[in-house]
A and B are shown apart, each in its own frame.
Chain A
Amino acid sequence: MKMIDKTTSEEEKEFYSKSSDSKYGKKIKKFTRTKESLIKFFFAVNGVMALVFIILIFIFLFKEGFKALEHVGLFDFLYTTRPAANGTSETVFQWYPTSEEPRYSLIPLILGTLLTAIPATIISTIFGVAAGVYLSEVANPKWKEILKPLIELFAGIPTVVIGFIMLVIGASFFNDLLHPDNRLNAFIASIGLSFVIIPVIASLTEDALHSIPNELRMASYGLGSTKWQTISRVILPAAFSGVSASIILGFGRAIGETMIVLMAAGNAANITSNLFLSVRTMTATIAAEMGEVSQGSDHYYSLFFIGIVLFTITFILNLIAEIIISKMRKKNTF
């Protein structure tokens, strides 16, 4: 997200105009010009193709997803009203597309996503920002060269591996420790998610802190501050936007994660705020059910609809993060 400085085509115009004198000059000009234009065209095609793919993603997702609204009403995605046992009707929030009376409420799924993503983000913020501060301000610069890549290596672990570990080791470990109601639950999933998100927040926080110019640190020390005073009162406040953006991006990542929650959260679409019950997230629902739906069914379209919801949420979060960062750039002109 840097400022890209453009070389103008002024140099080209000048070059071409200079060689207009001799006869040879004109010939070379035409040939080179065509070649240059072709090359530029080639690259432009690539650029456009990339853009086309991006647009296509939008289109296809929304096309199939909005079909869901024709098959399943918008409000059905929130709740279903059905006759209760005692004769009256009740409103239920359930995701149960495969039953005889299919129910498509997204509420349990959204809650499931939040119940895993929010604790994960909270944990990751504490650990991630601390790690970022450590790398940028506290660590010995020689060690930093090894430690920062180590954290990035952390970030490169495939999520299926994290899910696997949580499933095989994490669940038993916490089971013995905490005796939860469900062995696989939102808490286990949150821990797993944290493994993925802490490096994201740590890395971005370190970048944000590192970009604060050294003069500010000198000014603070020159006034007789301690290291911690400088970190807490000058550096962190100055990097606030960068750190906030990293937290928002981390949250977006937590919402969009699939494998960890699929493997460790229990996959029961409960509505609960109890961290220790199994939940099912939006992502896990798509992953688990997509293989079994018949194309064109209500269920099929509903899964695409969930996809739209996911896409929109993460898109908005990313946009917010970008706006924060660009605002920060404008405000602090160093």
Chain B
Amino acid sequence: MKEIKIVIKNLNLYYDKKQALKNITLDIPDKKVTAFIGPSGCGKSTFLRVLNRMNDLIEHVRIDGEVFVDDVNIYDKNIDVVNLRKNIGMVFQKSNLFPKTIYENIVYGPKINGIRDKKALDEIVEKTCMQSAIWDEVKDRMNENALSLSGGQQQRLCIARALAVEPEIILMDEPASALDPISTAKIEELIHDLKQRYTIVIVTHNMQQAARVSDMTAFFYLGELVEFDRTTKIFTNPSKKQTEDYISGRFG
């Protein structure tokens, strides 16, 4: 079983002339939860989007450095980006379900991959909804508008939708920041279950959440990676003073 899933080497990112990410080097372990923390605007979400090449969709972005997933450089010219994104799923800060039924939202991914058989699709729906702990709540409402669900349910449905394309890695950009405490707790529980099967990278501005949920934590500040270590060490005995200051709330 491989230990490291994603290797990032000397990654720099520029928005026009401004440098947003400075020389990031990082190894993300397989089947564990890695959290990115840091104050607002320090580049953690931008860095997250580097991992599935979502920054390609933004103009004026230039990337320098290497990102290897399973020893394959995903920024190589020959890589099929569309295919890449099927293998690396993303859950966004605010639920962005399509204005379609619950069922159609989930099967969107499989359908564009060519899966047409209704039975196969139904199985996918059931499986992913169960993995996302939302099956009981939606199994009788499959043909209802997805936007009629509550915020927390919508977010869990987004997770199910991402799982439906069978990624190996799931990137989550502050998935619970718009949710109430109970929904947040459910999402965190979900993450705990999912890491048995998937590599998870989560960006969060909520330090306690990072402490609860992750195995490894990376602290970013002003576009630089300040410290990256096991979560327990970061939160009890960080090596860098900056990390300690942030953790103890001296700035943020």
Indicate whether A and B are direct neighbours in the complex (CB within 8 Å). Answer: yes
Q: Which residues of A come within 8 Å of B, CB atoms?
A: 141, 213, 215-216, 218-226, 229, 233-234, 237-238, 331-333
Find out whether the CB atom of B147 lies under 8 angstroms from the CB atom of A332.
yes
Known A224-B83, A224-B109: A219·B98 in contact at CB below 8 Å:
yes
A237 CA to B101 CA in the complex, in Å? 12
Q: Which residues of B come within 8 Å of A, CB atoms?
A: 52, 54, 57, 59, 82-87, 89-90, 92, 94, 96-100, 108-109, 112-113, 145, 147, 158, 161-162, 165
Find out whether the CB atom of B54 lies under 8 angstroms from the CB atom of A218.
yes
**In the complex, chain A residues whose CB is within 8 Å of the CB of B97:** 219
Interface centre among A218, A221, A238 (most CB of B within 10 A): A221
Q: What is the chain B residue whose CB lies nearest that of A225?
A: B112
Find out whether the CB atom of B92 lies under 8 angstroms from the CB atom of A216.
no
A225 CA to B57 CA in the complex, in Å? 13
Known A221-B54, A224-B85, A226-B82: A332·B92 in contact at CB below 8 Å:
no
Q: Of the candidates A216, A222, A225, A331, which one forms a contact with B145 in the assembled complex, judged by CB atoms under 8 Å apart?
A: A331
Find out whether the CB atom of A237 lies under 8 angstroms from the CB atom of B85.
no
Q: Of the candidates B94, B113, B162, which one forms a contact with A222 in the assembled complex, judged by CB atoms under 8 Å apart?
A: B162
**In the complex, chain A residues whose CB is within 8 Å of the CB of B94:** 215
* 25 A-B pairs (CB sep. < 8 Å): A215-B94, A215-B96, A216-B98, A218-B54, A219-B92, A219-B98, A220-B108, A221-B85, A222-B52, A222-B54, A222-B92, A223-B86, A223-B89, A223-B165, A224-B82, A224-B83, A224-B84, A224-B85, A224-B86, A224-B109, A224-B113, A225-B82, A233-B112, A237-B99, A332-B147
Find out whether the CB atom of B161 lies under 8 angstroms from the CB atom of A218.
no
Main secondary structure of the interface of A (DSSP, over half): helix
Known A224-B84, A224-B85, A224-B86: A216·B108 in contact at CB below 8 Å:
no
Find out whether the CB atom of B92 lies under 8 angstroms from the CB atom of A233.
no
**In the complex, chain B residues whose CB is within 8 Å of the CB of A237:** 98-100
Known A224-B86, A233-B108: A219·B147 in contact at CB below 8 Å:
no
Distance in Å from the Cβ of A217 to the closest Cβ of chain B?
8
Identify 9 new A-B residue pairs, CB closer than 8 A, beyond the known A222-B89, A238-B98, A332-B147: A219-B92, A219-B96, A220-B108, A222-B52, A222-B90, A223-B161, A225-B82, A233-B112, A237-B100
A72 CA to B113 CA in the complex, in Å? 65
Find out whether the CB atom of B112 lies under 8 angstroms from the CB atom of A229.
yes
Distance in Å from the Cβ of B21 to the closest Cβ of chain A?
20
A226 CA to B114 CA in the complex, in Å? 13
Q: What is the chain B residue whose CB lies nearest that of A239?
A: B99
A216 CA to B57 CA in the complex, in Å? 13
Find out whether the CB atom of B99 lies under 8 angstroms from the CB atom of A223.
no
A233 CA to B84 CA in the complex, in Å? 20
**In the complex, chain A residues whose CB is within 8 Å of the CB of B108:** 220, 223, 233-234
**In the complex, chain B residues whose CB is within 8 Å of the CB of A238:** 98-99
Find out whether the CB atom of A222 lies under 8 angstroms from the CB atom of B147.
no
Find out whether the CB atom of A216 lies under 8 angstroms from the CB atom of B147.
no
Find out whether the CB atom of B112 lies under 8 angstroms from the CB atom of A224.
yes
Distance in Å from the Cβ of B154 to the closest Cβ of chain A?
12
Distance in Å from the Cβ of B55 to the closest Cβ of chain A?
11
A213 CA to B97 CA in the complex, in Å? 11
Find out whether the CB atom of A222 lies under 8 angstroms from the CB atom of B98.
no
**In the complex, chain B residues whose CB is within 8 Å of the CB of A215:** 92, 94, 96
A229 CA to B97 CA in the complex, in Å? 16
Distance in Å from the Cβ of A128 to the closest Cβ of chain B?
23
Find out whether the CB atom of A218 lies under 8 angstroms from the CB atom of B92.
yes
Distance in Å from the Cβ of A225 to the closest Cβ of chain B?
5
A333 CA to B99 CA in the complex, in Å? 9
**In the complex, chain A residues whose CB is within 8 Å of the CB of B87:** 224
**In the complex, chain A residues whose CB is within 8 Å of the CB of B85:** 221-224
A219 CA to B173 CA in the complex, in Å? 12
Find out whether the CB atom of A333 lies under 8 angstroms from the CB atom of B147.
yes
Distance in Å from the Cβ of A222 to the closest Cβ of chain B?
4
